Chains A and B, each alone.
Chain A
Amino acid sequence: MSRVHKYDAAKEQLVTAVEMFLNGRDRSSVITLAGAASGIFDELVRRSGKEAFVDYGRRLARELNGKTPKRSSYVHHVNTKLGVTVHKHLWDGESDTVDLDLETLAADAVLRAMVDYMSLSGEDEPFVKAYLHWRWTNEEDGPGLIERYKQVPQRMKPK
Protein backbone atom coordinates (compact mmCIF):
# COMPACT_ATOMS: atom_id res chain seq x y z
CA MET A 1 0.00 0.00 0.00
CA SER A 2 1.39 3.41 -0.86
CA ARG A 3 0.12 6.97 -0.74
CA VAL A 4 0.13 8.95 -3.95
CA HIS A 5 -1.22 12.34 -4.93
CA LYS A 6 -3.58 12.47 -7.89
CA TYR A 7 -1.27 14.95 -9.61
CA ASP A 8 1.38 12.21 -9.84
CA ALA A 9 -1.12 9.58 -10.97
CA ALA A 10 -2.43 11.91 -13.68
CA LYS A 11 1.08 12.84 -14.79
CA GLU A 12 2.07 9.17 -15.15
CA GLN A 13 -1.00 8.58 -17.28
CA LEU A 14 -0.25 11.58 -19.47
CA VAL A 15 3.39 10.51 -19.91
CA THR A 16 2.18 7.05 -20.95
CA ALA A 17 -0.35 8.60 -23.35
CA VAL A 18 2.35 10.75 -24.98
CA GLU A 19 4.76 7.84 -25.31
CA MET A 20 2.09 5.65 -26.86
CA PHE A 21 1.00 8.46 -29.18
CA LEU A 22 4.48 9.32 -30.43
CA ASN A 23 5.34 5.62 -30.87
CA GLY A 24 2.28 5.01 -33.02
CA ARG A 25 0.58 2.76 -30.46
CA ASP A 26 -3.15 2.27 -29.91
CA ARG A 27 -5.07 5.55 -30.30
CA SER A 28 -8.04 4.45 -28.21
CA SER A 29 -5.75 3.96 -25.22
CA VAL A 30 -4.14 7.36 -25.79
CA ILE A 31 -7.58 9.01 -25.73
CA THR A 32 -8.63 7.26 -22.52
CA LEU A 33 -5.37 8.01 -20.70
CA ALA A 34 -5.31 11.66 -21.76
CA GLY A 35 -8.98 11.95 -20.75
CA ALA A 36 -8.26 10.50 -17.31
CA ALA A 37 -5.33 12.87 -16.79
CA SER A 38 -7.52 15.81 -17.82
CA GLY A 39 -10.16 14.83 -15.28
CA ILE A 40 -7.60 15.47 -12.54
CA PHE A 41 -5.54 18.34 -13.98
CA ASP A 42 -8.71 20.34 -14.60
CA GLU A 43 -9.44 20.61 -10.87
CA LEU A 44 -5.79 21.22 -9.97
CA VAL A 45 -5.54 24.11 -12.46
CA ARG A 46 -8.65 25.67 -10.96
CA ARG A 47 -7.14 25.39 -7.48
CA SER A 48 -3.97 27.08 -8.73
CA GLY A 49 -6.05 30.11 -9.69
CA LYS A 50 -5.25 29.77 -13.38
CA GLU A 51 -7.70 29.29 -16.24
CA ALA A 52 -8.33 25.63 -17.07
CA PHE A 53 -8.75 24.47 -20.67
CA VAL A 54 -12.46 23.97 -20.09
CA ASP A 55 -12.94 27.47 -18.66
CA TYR A 56 -11.09 29.02 -21.58
CA GLY A 57 -13.47 27.14 -23.89
CA ARG A 58 -16.47 28.44 -21.95
CA ARG A 59 -15.13 31.98 -22.09
CA LEU A 60 -14.58 31.62 -25.82
CA ALA A 61 -18.13 30.31 -26.26
CA ARG A 62 -19.44 33.39 -24.43
CA GLU A 63 -17.44 35.71 -26.69
CA LEU A 64 -18.72 33.93 -29.80
CA ASN A 65 -22.31 33.15 -28.79
CA GLY A 66 -23.04 35.56 -25.95
CA LYS A 67 -23.75 32.76 -23.49
CA THR A 68 -21.49 30.91 -21.06
CA PRO A 69 -22.19 27.16 -21.05
CA LYS A 70 -22.61 25.43 -17.70
CA ARG A 71 -19.30 23.95 -16.63
CA SER A 72 -20.55 20.38 -16.26
CA SER A 73 -22.29 20.53 -19.65
CA TYR A 74 -19.18 21.90 -21.31
CA VAL A 75 -16.94 19.22 -19.75
CA HIS A 76 -19.36 16.60 -21.07
CA HIS A 77 -19.32 18.30 -24.50
CA VAL A 78 -15.51 18.29 -24.65
CA ASN A 79 -15.29 14.67 -23.51
CA THR A 80 -17.78 13.69 -26.20
CA LYS A 81 -16.03 15.69 -28.96
CA LEU A 82 -12.64 14.19 -28.07
CA GLY A 83 -13.94 10.61 -28.03
CA VAL A 84 -13.24 10.17 -24.32
CA THR A 85 -16.82 9.25 -23.41
CA VAL A 86 -17.31 6.63 -26.10
CA HIS A 87 -14.18 4.81 -24.90
CA LYS A 88 -15.35 4.37 -21.31
CA HIS A 89 -19.14 4.17 -21.43
CA LEU A 90 -21.74 2.07 -23.20
CA TRP A 91 -25.31 2.62 -22.15
CA ASP A 92 -28.25 0.32 -22.60
CA GLY A 93 -29.68 0.68 -26.11
CA GLU A 94 -26.65 2.45 -27.55
CA SER A 95 -25.30 1.34 -30.91
CA ASP A 96 -22.40 -1.07 -30.70
CA THR A 97 -20.62 0.67 -33.58
CA VAL A 98 -19.24 4.19 -33.75
CA ASP A 99 -17.59 6.36 -36.43
CA LEU A 100 -14.33 7.97 -35.27
CA ASP A 101 -11.18 9.65 -36.57
CA LEU A 102 -8.98 8.14 -33.89
CA GLU A 103 -5.78 9.79 -35.11
CA THR A 104 -7.16 13.30 -34.78
CA LEU A 105 -9.00 12.58 -31.55
CA ALA A 106 -5.88 11.13 -29.91
CA ALA A 107 -3.76 14.15 -30.90
CA ASP A 108 -6.42 16.55 -29.59
CA ALA A 109 -7.11 14.63 -26.37
CA VAL A 110 -3.41 14.81 -25.54
CA LEU A 111 -3.36 18.52 -26.41
CA ARG A 112 -6.19 19.26 -24.00
CA ALA A 113 -4.45 17.42 -21.15
CA MET A 114 -1.12 19.01 -22.03
CA VAL A 115 -2.53 22.54 -21.90
CA ASP A 116 -3.66 22.02 -18.31
CA TYR A 117 -0.45 20.18 -17.40
CA MET A 118 1.65 23.08 -18.70
CA SER A 119 -0.43 25.53 -16.67
CA LEU A 120 0.61 23.55 -13.59
CA SER A 121 4.17 22.52 -14.37
CA GLY A 122 5.52 24.40 -17.36
CA GLU A 123 6.86 23.02 -20.62
CA ASP A 124 10.45 22.07 -19.83
CA GLU A 125 10.11 18.32 -19.34
CA PRO A 126 11.13 16.02 -22.22
CA PHE A 127 7.70 14.44 -22.72
CA VAL A 128 6.11 17.88 -23.00
CA LYS A 129 8.74 19.11 -25.45
CA ALA A 130 8.43 15.92 -27.50
CA TYR A 131 4.69 16.36 -27.86
CA LEU A 132 4.94 20.10 -28.65
CA HIS A 133 7.61 19.34 -31.25
CA TRP A 134 5.36 16.74 -32.85
CA ARG A 135 2.47 19.18 -32.81
CA TRP A 136 4.52 21.93 -34.42
CA THR A 137 6.01 19.75 -37.16
CA ASN A 138 2.63 18.18 -37.94
CA GLU A 139 0.62 21.37 -38.10
CA GLU A 140 -0.22 22.16 -41.70
CA ASP A 141 0.90 25.77 -41.37
CA GLY A 142 2.70 26.46 -38.09
CA PRO A 143 4.01 29.97 -38.90
CA GLY A 144 0.62 30.88 -40.39
CA LEU A 145 -1.05 29.68 -37.21
CA ILE A 146 1.08 32.04 -35.13
CA GLU A 147 0.20 34.94 -37.41
CA ARG A 148 -3.51 34.14 -37.17
CA TYR A 149 -3.20 33.87 -33.38
CA LYS A 150 -1.68 37.35 -33.23
CA GLN A 151 -4.79 38.71 -34.93
CA VAL A 152 -7.12 37.22 -32.29
CA PRO A 153 -8.52 39.92 -29.95
CA GLN A 154 -6.88 39.88 -26.52
CA ARG A 155 -10.17 39.08 -24.77
CA MET A 156 -10.40 35.83 -26.78
CA LYS A 157 -6.90 34.60 -25.97
CA PRO A 158 -6.10 32.19 -23.11
CA LYS A 159 -5.25 33.94 -19.84
Chain B
Amino acid sequence: MSIRTYTRLELAESQLTSAIGLFVSGRDRFSVITLAGAADVILSRLVMNKGAENFTQKIAKTESESGGVPVSLGAQGKAINDLLFINQLKHMDERDDGFIDLDREECALAAISKALVNYVALVGDQKDIVLAFKAWAWKNLDRTKYDVDALHGVSPGVQ
Protein backbone atom coordinates (compact mmCIF):
# COMPACT_ATOMS: atom_id res chain seq x y z
CA MET B 1 0.00 0.00 0.00
CA SER B 2 1.56 3.26 -1.01
CA ILE B 3 0.61 6.80 -1.78
CA ARG B 4 1.54 8.12 -5.22
CA THR B 5 0.98 11.36 -7.04
CA TYR B 6 -1.36 11.10 -10.03
CA THR B 7 -2.35 13.72 -12.56
CA ARG B 8 -6.07 14.12 -13.07
CA LEU B 9 -5.45 13.29 -16.72
CA GLU B 10 -4.05 9.90 -15.60
CA LEU B 11 -7.16 9.21 -13.51
CA ALA B 12 -9.44 10.11 -16.42
CA GLU B 13 -7.35 8.19 -18.94
CA SER B 14 -7.42 5.03 -16.80
CA GLN B 15 -11.19 5.17 -16.51
CA LEU B 16 -11.71 5.87 -20.20
CA THR B 17 -9.38 3.00 -21.07
CA SER B 18 -11.43 0.66 -18.87
CA ALA B 19 -14.67 1.94 -20.40
CA ILE B 20 -13.43 1.24 -23.93
CA GLY B 21 -12.04 -2.15 -22.91
CA LEU B 22 -15.36 -3.18 -21.36
CA PHE B 23 -17.28 -1.83 -24.36
CA VAL B 24 -15.33 -3.51 -27.16
CA SER B 25 -15.31 -6.80 -25.25
CA GLY B 26 -19.10 -6.73 -24.91
CA ARG B 27 -19.16 -6.34 -21.13
CA ASP B 28 -21.48 -4.46 -18.78
CA ARG B 29 -22.80 -1.31 -20.48
CA PHE B 30 -23.76 0.42 -17.21
CA SER B 31 -20.13 0.33 -16.13
CA VAL B 32 -19.07 1.72 -19.50
CA ILE B 33 -21.44 4.68 -19.13
CA THR B 34 -20.36 5.40 -15.55
CA LEU B 35 -16.64 5.20 -16.31
CA ALA B 36 -16.79 7.23 -19.51
CA GLY B 37 -19.01 9.77 -17.75
CA ALA B 38 -16.60 10.15 -14.82
CA ALA B 39 -13.61 10.45 -17.13
CA ASP B 40 -15.40 13.04 -19.22
CA VAL B 41 -16.07 15.39 -16.30
CA ILE B 42 -12.33 15.57 -15.64
CA LEU B 43 -11.39 15.76 -19.32
CA SER B 44 -13.93 18.54 -19.97
CA ARG B 45 -12.40 20.71 -17.26
CA LEU B 46 -8.85 19.98 -18.44
CA VAL B 47 -9.79 21.07 -21.98
CA MET B 48 -11.18 24.32 -20.56
CA ASN B 49 -8.06 24.80 -18.44
CA LYS B 50 -6.06 24.52 -21.64
CA GLY B 51 -8.01 27.45 -23.06
CA ALA B 52 -9.84 25.33 -25.63
CA GLU B 53 -13.56 24.58 -26.13
CA ASN B 54 -14.74 21.25 -24.77
CA PHE B 55 -17.46 19.09 -26.31
CA THR B 56 -20.27 20.57 -24.21
CA GLN B 57 -19.20 24.12 -24.96
CA LYS B 58 -19.17 23.38 -28.68
CA ILE B 59 -22.65 21.87 -28.55
CA ALA B 60 -24.01 24.75 -26.43
CA LYS B 61 -22.57 27.24 -28.94
CA THR B 62 -24.12 25.40 -31.88
CA GLU B 63 -27.49 25.16 -30.12
CA SER B 64 -27.41 28.85 -29.24
CA GLU B 65 -26.60 29.83 -32.81
CA SER B 66 -29.23 27.59 -34.39
CA GLY B 67 -31.98 28.35 -31.86
CA GLY B 68 -31.26 32.03 -31.41
CA VAL B 69 -31.57 31.60 -27.64
CA PRO B 70 -28.48 31.43 -25.41
CA VAL B 71 -27.93 27.94 -23.93
CA SER B 72 -25.98 27.90 -20.68
CA LEU B 73 -23.07 25.52 -20.29
CA GLY B 74 -24.59 24.04 -17.13
CA ALA B 75 -27.94 23.39 -18.78
CA GLN B 76 -26.27 21.85 -21.83
CA GLY B 77 -24.06 19.62 -19.68
CA LYS B 78 -27.04 18.45 -17.64
CA ALA B 79 -29.08 17.76 -20.78
CA ILE B 80 -26.31 15.57 -22.21
CA ASN B 81 -25.77 13.74 -18.91
CA ASP B 82 -29.52 13.13 -18.61
CA LEU B 83 -29.67 11.85 -22.18
CA LEU B 84 -26.90 9.33 -21.43
CA PHE B 85 -28.28 8.41 -17.95
CA ILE B 86 -24.89 9.19 -16.39
CA ASN B 87 -26.35 10.52 -13.14
CA GLN B 88 -29.15 7.97 -13.02
CA LEU B 89 -26.60 5.16 -12.85
CA LYS B 90 -24.90 6.52 -9.74
CA HIS B 91 -27.67 8.23 -7.77
CA MET B 92 -31.06 7.42 -6.34
CA ASP B 93 -33.09 9.83 -4.27
CA GLU B 94 -36.17 9.47 -2.07
CA ARG B 95 -38.70 10.26 -4.81
CA ASP B 96 -37.10 7.98 -7.38
CA ASP B 97 -39.23 4.99 -8.50
CA GLY B 98 -35.98 3.24 -9.40
CA PHE B 99 -36.80 2.44 -13.02
CA ILE B 100 -34.89 3.72 -16.02
CA ASP B 101 -35.72 3.23 -19.69
CA LEU B 102 -32.64 3.37 -21.85
CA ASP B 103 -30.89 1.94 -24.86
CA ARG B 104 -27.78 0.85 -23.00
CA GLU B 105 -25.80 0.16 -26.20
CA GLU B 106 -26.45 3.63 -27.63
CA CYS B 107 -25.78 5.37 -24.33
CA ALA B 108 -22.50 3.51 -23.81
CA LEU B 109 -21.34 4.31 -27.32
CA ALA B 110 -22.28 7.97 -26.94
CA ALA B 111 -20.66 8.30 -23.50
CA ILE B 112 -17.36 6.98 -24.85
CA SER B 113 -17.59 9.14 -27.98
CA LYS B 114 -18.20 12.29 -25.95
CA ALA B 115 -15.26 11.61 -23.63
CA LEU B 116 -13.02 10.75 -26.57
CA VAL B 117 -13.65 14.12 -28.21
CA ASN B 118 -12.28 15.82 -25.09
CA TYR B 119 -9.46 13.29 -24.69
CA VAL B 120 -8.31 13.84 -28.28
CA ALA B 121 -8.43 17.62 -27.71
CA LEU B 122 -5.91 17.11 -24.90
CA VAL B 123 -3.55 14.42 -26.15
CA GLY B 124 -4.19 14.03 -29.88
CA ASP B 125 -5.64 11.13 -31.84
CA GLN B 126 -2.71 8.73 -31.96
CA LYS B 127 -3.00 7.25 -28.46
CA ASP B 128 -3.68 3.51 -28.31
CA ILE B 129 -7.19 3.77 -26.88
CA VAL B 130 -8.23 6.24 -29.57
CA LEU B 131 -6.89 4.05 -32.34
CA ALA B 132 -8.43 0.94 -30.77
CA PHE B 133 -11.85 2.52 -30.51
CA LYS B 134 -11.67 3.88 -34.05
CA ALA B 135 -10.69 0.45 -35.34
CA TRP B 136 -13.60 -1.10 -33.46
CA ALA B 137 -15.99 1.52 -34.86
CA TRP B 138 -14.69 1.05 -38.39
CA LYS B 139 -15.29 -2.67 -38.21
CA ASN B 140 -18.52 -2.83 -36.19
CA LEU B 141 -20.68 0.28 -36.51
CA ASP B 142 -23.64 0.31 -38.88
CA ARG B 143 -22.77 2.73 -41.70
CA THR B 144 -26.42 3.39 -42.46
CA LYS B 145 -26.80 4.74 -38.94
CA TYR B 146 -23.43 6.28 -38.05
CA ASP B 147 -21.03 8.47 -40.01
CA VAL B 148 -18.08 6.13 -39.47
CA ASP B 149 -16.04 7.70 -42.27
CA ALA B 150 -16.23 11.09 -40.54
CA LEU B 151 -15.01 9.49 -37.33
CA HIS B 152 -11.93 8.20 -39.08
CA GLY B 153 -11.21 10.73 -41.73
CA VAL B 154 -9.68 7.82 -43.58
CA SER B 155 -9.68 4.06 -43.19
CA PRO B 156 -7.47 2.88 -40.28
CA GLY B 157 -5.71 0.70 -42.78
CA VAL B 158 -4.75 3.78 -44.80
CA GLN B 159 -3.54 5.89 -41.87
Residues on A facing B (Cβ under 8 Å): 1-7, 9-10, 12-13, 15-17, 20, 25-26, 28-29, 32-33, 35-36, 39-40, 42-44, 86-92, 94, 96-104
CB of B89 closer than 8 Å to a CB of A: yes
B38 near A87: Cβ-Cβ < 8 Å: yes
B contact residues vs A (CB 8 Å cutoff)? 1-9, 11, 14-15, 17-19, 22, 27-28, 30-31, 34-35, 37-38, 41-42, 45-46, 48-49, 88-94, 96, 98-104
- Residue of A2, A7, A13, A25 ringed by the most chain B CB atoms within 10 A: A13
| Cβ contacts A to B, 20 pairs, < 8 Å | A1-B102, A3-B101, A4-B99, A9-B89, A26-B14, A26-B15, A28-B15, A29-B35, A32-B15, A35-B90, A44-B92, A88-B41, A89-B41, A92-B45, A96-B46, A98-B5, A98-B6, A98-B8, A99-B6, A101-B3
- Is the pair B90, A101 in contact by a Cβ cutoff of 8 Å? no
Give the residues in chain B near A32, CB-CB below 8 Å: 15, 34-35, 38
Q: Which residues of A contact B3 (CB under 8 A)?
A: 99-101
Among A3, A44, A103, point to the contact of B100 (Cβ < 8 A): A3
Q: What residues of chain B lie closer than 8 Å to A97, measured between beta carbons?
A: 5-8
Q: Please give, as numbers and ranges, the residues of chain B lying within 8 Å of A5 by CB-CB distance.
A: 98-100
Which 4 A-B pairs rank lowest in CB-CB distance, beginning with the nearest? A36-B90, A29-B18, A88-B38, A43-B92
